[in-house]
Amino acid sequence: MTFPAIICLVLALLSMFISLVLADPTIFNVVSYGAKPDGKTDSAQAFVSAWTKACASMQPATIYVPAGKFALGQVIFIGPCSNKVNVMLIGTLVAPSDYTVLGNKAYWVVFQNINGLKVSGNGILDGQGTSLWACKSSGKSCPLGATTLEITNSNNIVVSGLTSINSQMFHIVVNACNNVNMQGVRVIAAGNSINTNGIHVQLSSNVTILNSNMRTGDDCISVGPGTINIWIENVACGPGHGISIGSLGKNQQETGVQNVTITTANFTGTQNGVRIKSWPRPSNGFARNIIFQHVNMVNVQNPIIIDQNYCPSKDCPHQV
């Protein structure tokens, strides 16, 4: 061995030693917990193990999902955690291609009871919904399917740079959360896919959705009962059914929607543009302080639609 080669070897060993000793104890790589980036091996258990460690960390912790495809069945990340958790998603999460596996589970990837969560990193969630859409459009009886990502009962949430493709049901649901900031989110599904809402928000306050792009088969964004203070800016929708407030008034006792701003939005080739829809039923639900502004529409069937007789199934038993 030449002298420079020996130096190199020594330096390489030294740097390995340093990285082992000083490995950042707040970074939890799912591969270290057994996840396999082969697109086949179910890695849900490994993800949950990494989560459990990160969630128990007294310092802010990061769950790192490297490049590659990770097959996952239903996975539920539950708090409360000891500190903030950051999920750095570089790779792709792939749902089971057989829709009967998640078919009657309402959600695929769930974050619940967390205060201080950031999901970022340009990764992809692939719901593999195409065979379920085909089943639904054939008129056969099919399971409802799973929403790709649900964030529930959580506060101080950031979702940045995520892409959701081919969800079975809704792409992203924000339920019972406060202070949610979503930006640079992309949603992609076929224009004729059924029930593939882009982002659905309900029972939540102080939510912003910025710089996002939705191409899907149902509402690009839907704002459900109990949403207070939501700001949606610089978004593109199409194909899709537009941005909807509602549906509201399905139940007699219902929390209202208030203070909604949708500003600077493009609608291209959508069924609707901006919409408010409520069921023809007795209800104490309401929608107030709603602003739609700086909206561009190209090839939109119903640019502005306020429908107080919403009844998609032609079966409204308590109709007045």
- CA neighbor of 174 nearest in space, from 240, 119, 222: 222
- Which residues carry out catalysis? 241
Number of residues that bind ligand NAG (CB under 6 A): 12
Query: What residues does 295 pair with on adjacent strands?
Result: 265
| Residue 301, token pair as written in the block | 């069937």
Shortest Cβ distance from residue 243 to ligand NAG (Å)?
13
Q: Which is nearer to ligand NAG, 236 or 300 (CB)?
A: 236
Residues 145-204 that bind ligand NAG (CB under 6 A): 178
Q: 230 and 262 in contact (C-beta within 8 Å)?
A: no
Shortest Cβ distance from residue 178 to ligand NAG (Å)?
4
Q: d(Cα 85, Cα 208) in Å, to the nearest integer?
A: 20
Tell whether residue 235 is a contact of ligand NAG (CB under 6 A). yes
Give residue 316's identity as a one-letter amino acid code.
C
Tell whether residue 266 is a contact of ligand NAG (CB under 6 A). yes
Tell whether residue 236 is a contact of ligand NAG (CB under 6 A). yes
Q: Tell the residue number behind the tokens 């707040």, with chain if given.
A: 26
Residues 84-143 that bind ligand NAG (CB under 6 A): none
- CA neighbor of 211 nearest in space, from 186, 189, 228: 186
Tell whether residue 29 is a contact of ligand NAG (CB under 6 A). no
Tell whether residue 206 is a contact of ligand NAG (CB under 6 A). yes
- CA neighbor of 88 nearest in space, from 111, 117, 113: 117
> Where do contacts with ligand NAG occur on this chain (CB under 6 A)?
178, 205-206, 229, 231, 234-236, 259, 261, 266, 296
